[in-house]
Amino acid sequence: MTRQGIPAIYLNSPASVVSDGRATLREKARHRRPEKLYIPEFNRQEDRSAILAFMRANPFAILITNVDGIPFATHLPLLVDEAADQIVVRGHMARANAHWKSMKAGEESLVIFHGPHAYISPSLYELRESVPTWNYATVHVYGEPTLFSDEAGLKETLHQMIDTFESSYMTQWSELSDKFRSGMMKHIVGFEIKVKRLEAKFKLSQNRTKGEQARVIQSLNQSEDSNVSGVADLMRQESLGR
């Protein structure tokens, strides 16, 4: 055992063996399907409501698809819906963007939702033999895309995006001529991805002592950079440092 009763292996090992009352974290990891994102067990986020809230709070994501073995990435805002226990990610891109042509049924795409992140100084730790790190949170979403370009489908998606990101714009949008709106929609392609699996990693100093977590939160909270102070907010949401 070491600092404040935390086993040393929990502090230093990439695969902790701390018991959670049902099975060790390592045993749980062995029964998981292979992942594409490295997640130490103490950084794993499994709370579905917390994951969805994070995705909706950070909707500007990265969509990645393979094109002839080479990753093709597009940065774009996305909608996150849930119905009948099925999570659906929806959005649109410029028709001139060749990315949509590579989005095929039967082939998975990856969507990365990324949030606040911050450098963590070892000066905030109790032991001098410590090194810097970076705290952050991210959600990886996998699923097969479905494309659509019909005006009704695009209009529904655009209306939902307006309602989500700037509901007051709906009045102006509604007053635009039908010709203009139809012309704009001809220049975009819509898509939706029914999520097959989620991988959520919240790396927020969970392997540090309560005192160290509290100091990290206090330090980050002093920053005027919302990326940095946002990490402190996430840590508090996860009840760290208490």
Q: pLDDT tens, 172-190?
A: 999 999 999 999 999 999 9
- Segment holding 51, helix H or strand E: helix 48-57
Can you give the pLDDT at residue 237? 94
Can you give the pLDDT at residue 23? 52
**Average pLDDT score over residue span 93-120:** 95
Q: Could you tell me the pLDDT band of residue 69, with boundaries at 50, 70 and 90?
A: confident
Q: Find tokens 């996998």 and name the residue.
A: 142
Can you give the pLDDT at residue 92? 98
**Average pLDDT score over residue span 160-175:** 97
- 200 burial (CB, 10 Å; 0-12 / 13-18 / 19+) is buried
Q: Looking at the predicted structure, is the pLDDT value of residue 25 above 70?
A: no
Q: How far apart are CA 47 and CA 87, in angstroms?
A: 14
Q: Looking at the predicted structure, is the pLDDT value of residue 78 above 90?
A: yes
Predicted structure pTM score: 0.84
**Tokens linked to 231:** 């990490």
- Looking at CATH, the fold of the domain delimited by 33-230 is given as Pnp Oxidase; Chain A (2.30.110)
Q: Which residue has the higher pLDDT, 19 or 218?
A: 218
**Average pLDDT score over residue span 111-132:** 95
pLDDT tens across 81-102, in order?
Answer: 998 889 999 999 999 999 999 9
69: left (phi over 0), alpha (psi -120 to 50) or beta: left
Q: Looking at the predicted structure, is the pLDDT value of residue 20 above 90?
A: no
Do the strands 188-203 and 133-148 form a parallel or antiparallel pair, or are they unpaired?
antiparallel
